Amino acid sequence: MNVGYIRVSSKGQNVDRQKKSLEEYGCEKVFIDKKSGKDLEREQYHEMKSFIREKDIVIFAELDRLGRNREEINQEWNDLINRGCDIKVLDMPILDTTQYKDDMGKFILTIARELLGYIAEQERVKLLERQRQGIEIAKQKGKYQGAEKFYRPDSKNPEFRYKYYQIIDLLEKKVPVSQISRDVRVSRNTVYRIKKEKDYASL
């Protein structure tokens, strides 16, 4: 059986693109989580893991639906394999365990997964470094007005959008501002600004 999994980081995000990809591939059952991907405490993800059986194929539209970093991705990947399932990642065709059954194939697949995970992590590191350098230049020119304005739902930067929806999700759960600031790694002013905008929009 083909089983799909989708995660988006906020209830306000649209899942149609991922769902369409999975259904077109032939998923008979699709599980959807609409909450922060900060950790793997996701209701539908665990429902999916309880639902799947040996020889099922678990399909993800993107590799990072498995986890937010290489460690989480590897942990969940290995858990699914140990359950006797296959895994396919639609936007990375090489990550398809149905195509690699012999020892050499499994070795190639492991190397590919590690390499792609490493590249993704390095891209995030470079992105954060460019952001830091940009802020420093803006400060030197007297044009820096605070990083909190970067975190918006319409930001062109996916990392900023992700953190914005992560903050919204935690605010809806009544998590204290100080804890959100620590968990998301943004300033308290950023959280207060987003909370103020959220409360104003609900009036």
Number of H helices, E strands in the chain: 7, 4
Q: What count of other Cβ atoms lies within 10 Å of the Cβ of residue 77?
A: 22
Whether 10 is catalytic is no
Calculate helix-pair angle for 188-201, 177-184, nearest 10 degrees: 120
Q: DSSP label at 79?
A: H
Calculate helix-pair angle for 188-201, 158-172, nearest 10 degrees: 70
Q: Please identify which of the residues 9, 10, 21, 36 carries the catalytic annotation.
A: 9
Spatial CA neighbour of 66 closest among 113, 115, 26, 99: 113
Instruction: Please list the active-site residues.
Output: 9
